[in-house]
A and B are shown apart, each in its own frame.
Chain A
Amino acid sequence: MASVTYRNVTKRWGDVEAVKDLSIEIPDGEFLVFVGPSGCGKSTSLRMLAGLEEITEGEILIGDRVVNNVAPKDRDIAMVFQSYALYPHMTVYDNMAFGLRLRRTPKQVIEERVRETAASLGIEQLLDRRPRQLSGGQRQRVALGRAIVREPAVFLLDEPLSNLDAKLRVEARAFISKLHQRLGTTFIYVTHDQTEAMTMGQRIAVLRAGELMQIDTPTNLYDHPNNVFVAGFIGSPAMNFFDNSALTEENGVMHVDTGFFRLEVPQERYDRYRPYLGKKVIFGIRPENIDHPDYQPAGIKPSLTEANVDVVEEMGHEKIVYLEEGGKTFLARMDPRAHVTVGQRTSVVFNMASMQLFDMDTEQAI
């Protein structure tokens, strides 16, 4: 059990800065997810914590101890790799016992822990098999088991679900969340998949090009993104952005004008937005806040307009509708009963209570 602290950590390879001045405090027992597109530095951040990469500048602490110069094996961490990195020539039992044997754990203790862990993961019948005789899902559990038996202070997971098929991935997600609850250990999880991040993380750190864009709980990231990148990265389908929108105020009513829509801004935001009156802004709204007027959720303040239907994707529980207006395509998640057909012109309502505005230059939320 231990907290983890990144203190102004920078990683450079020659001229390339993979991680820039990263500072995060992860309290003991938290499930933190690093998320971002490939090349954003999330794996590098994790590998620096594991001791597999040198830290160019700054400090990483596990508990109260600075670990910059501590060997990986002495950091009291265990890691699950994307490829699982099982030892191919050893049985499942030996794979799990390997780390304990190297630490000279007594034989009975090893036996006990391995069997207990295997039982909790549902792999006790596989202990005599070798990795190549296992399915992807089973390998993944063995990799988890190998980390668990070590009883480390911090678990590091580097895209552990990427090699699983979609159905197994959903199961494994719940499984890892439960595991975290049961063990109560600090988990640090790296993924490029925002769904994994949202469903598993207690807090999510969004990275882009080595920089921490925002770190917060899933709900806060979703509802209050700090900038255009986080707003667009979190959520699927992604948020709709209307560049070059204008903010206007007439007769005490504020509107956001995309050039082809004029939508009313909720009153409680007037004060916050007033400095941007007459300036260009980016207007953002999530697809689920655009709906068909017949099925708009109760209790919202709708702003009605019209658009052409371009594509309709029937999902069963909803319709993803590609709408087009003024040369701009945007998405709406409509009620499955909504009657929309391709080529038709339809009425749509915007739930403006959930609108976002961003500065055109800095891309920061207003």
Chain B
Amino acid sequence: MTTTAVTPKKSPLSTTAQGPGFNWRRFVLRIPLHISLLLLVIAWILPTVGLLISSFRTREDIMSDGWWTVLENPLDFTQYTLENYDSVINNPNYDMARAFRNSLFIAIPATFFPLFFAASAAYAFSWMEFPGRNTVFLVLVGMLVVPLQLTFIPVLRLFNDLGITNNEYLPYLSIWIAHTGYGLPYAIYLLRNYMGSLPREIFESAFLDGCSHWTAFLRLALPLSIPAIASLVIFQFLWVWNDLLVALIYVGGGKYAPLTYALSGLVNSLGQDWHLLTAAAFVSMALPLVVFLALQRYFVRGILAGSVKG
């Protein structure tokens, strides 16, 4: 029985790296998998890296040679400049700063509202008894198949009749409502599956402890669903932030236009000015990157939401 006594003392690293437990056959069989994954990652990241490097180069450099030439001397900082960022953000002709603010004004409520409503609905579908519960749920989830382009004309007409569009006090009300509506089916679907898989006994215990449905929702269901909510925040925020079509329909251009609109405008007006376009593109990517990196540990868990308890 000495072997069983000795094995646990070995560090897991040594057993996997060179110990007898290391499975060479498995490693060799997986080499093609690793190579193809690596290629995929490179293919995915390379254009973005090029974009990033170009955004720090002068116009002349970009016109004369490719971005990869900086890799010969990557630490030679004289070849980089911040001027491009300065001009896209501060030049009133481009005014990416205002577009950035507009995007924030659109994206934050358009992420918060659908999530809040979806979480409330998911709680009700999971833990409240009411007639037609499953039917209503199925109808809502069935909305996933409706292409959103189909809804533009009727919804826009309705908003016009109600005086919601071009409202000077709440210029973004229409796009908030629109994004909330478009985001709800998937959010409800995902959150209901997640909340429904929380242990029933926790809620029963809470009801005996004196919880109403409202307190059980706020104090238990919401905090316990944070992994699923976080992944939805990422999805919804990125979708709203990167959206051009819905913004074009419900907000249009002008002083309320978001980043995507401003960026597409720049492509037309500055078609040759790669140094400015790349910088502008990175301004629009900055926040999504932060959001993603901040919440990424929930991301994978969120994709698995419902199948595995968080």
The contact string, 1 if C-beta is below 8 Å from chain B, for chain A 47-91, is: 000111000000000000000000111000111011101111100
CB neighbours of B201 from chain A (8 A): 81-83, 85
Within 8 A of A (CB), among B187-221: 199, 201-202, 204-211, 215, 219-220
Decide if B224 is an interface residue (CB 8 Å cutoff): yes
Decide if A339 is an interface residue (CB 8 Å cutoff): no
| Chain A: CB-nearest residue to B223 | A89
- Assuming A83-B199, A85-B199, is B208 touching A78 (CB within 8 A)? yes
Q: Are A88 and B224 in contact (CB under 8 A)?
A: yes
Per a CB cutoff under 8 Å, which of B210, B219, B224 touches A103? B210
Decide if A99 is an interface residue (CB 8 Å cutoff): yes
Interface size, chain A (Cβ < 8 Å): 23
Within 8 A of B (CB), among A108-122: none
- Assuming A79-B205, A81-B204, is B224 touching A102 (CB within 8 A)? no
Q: Are A102 and B215 in contact (CB under 8 A)?
A: yes
Decide if A286 is an interface residue (CB 8 Å cutoff): no
| Chain B: CB-nearest residue to A71 | B207
Q: Are A77 and B208 in contact (CB under 8 A)?
A: yes
CB distance from A97 to the nearest CB of B (A): 10
CB neighbours of A79 from chain B (8 A): 204-205, 208
Q: In the docked arrangement, what's the CA distance between A108 and B209, Å?
A: 19
Q: In the docked arrangement, what's the CA distance between A82 and B204, Å?
A: 12
| Chain A: CB-nearest residue to B226 | A89
Q: In the docked arrangement, what's the CA distance between A146 and B210, Å?
A: 13
The contact string, 1 if C-beta is below 8 Å from chain A, for chain B 214-256, is: 0100011001100000000000000000000000000000000
Q: Are A73 and B208 in contact (CB under 8 A)?
A: yes
CB neighbours of B204 from chain A (8 A): 50, 52, 72, 79, 81, 85
CB neighbours of B215 from chain A (8 A): 102
- Assuming A52-B204, A88-B224, is B210 touching A99 (CB within 8 A)? yes
CB neighbours of B206 from chain A (8 A): 87, 98
Decide if A150 is an interface residue (CB 8 Å cutoff): yes
CB distance from A81 to the nearest CB of B (A): 5
Given contacts A71-B207, A88-B202, A99-B209, 16 further A-B contacts (CB under 8 A): A50-B204, A50-B208, A73-B207, A73-B209, A73-B210, A73-B211, A78-B208, A83-B199, A85-B199, A85-B202, A85-B205, A89-B223, A99-B208, A102-B211, A146-B209, A150-B209
Could you tell me which B residues sit within 8 Å of A by CB distance? 199, 201-202, 204-211, 215, 219-220, 223-224
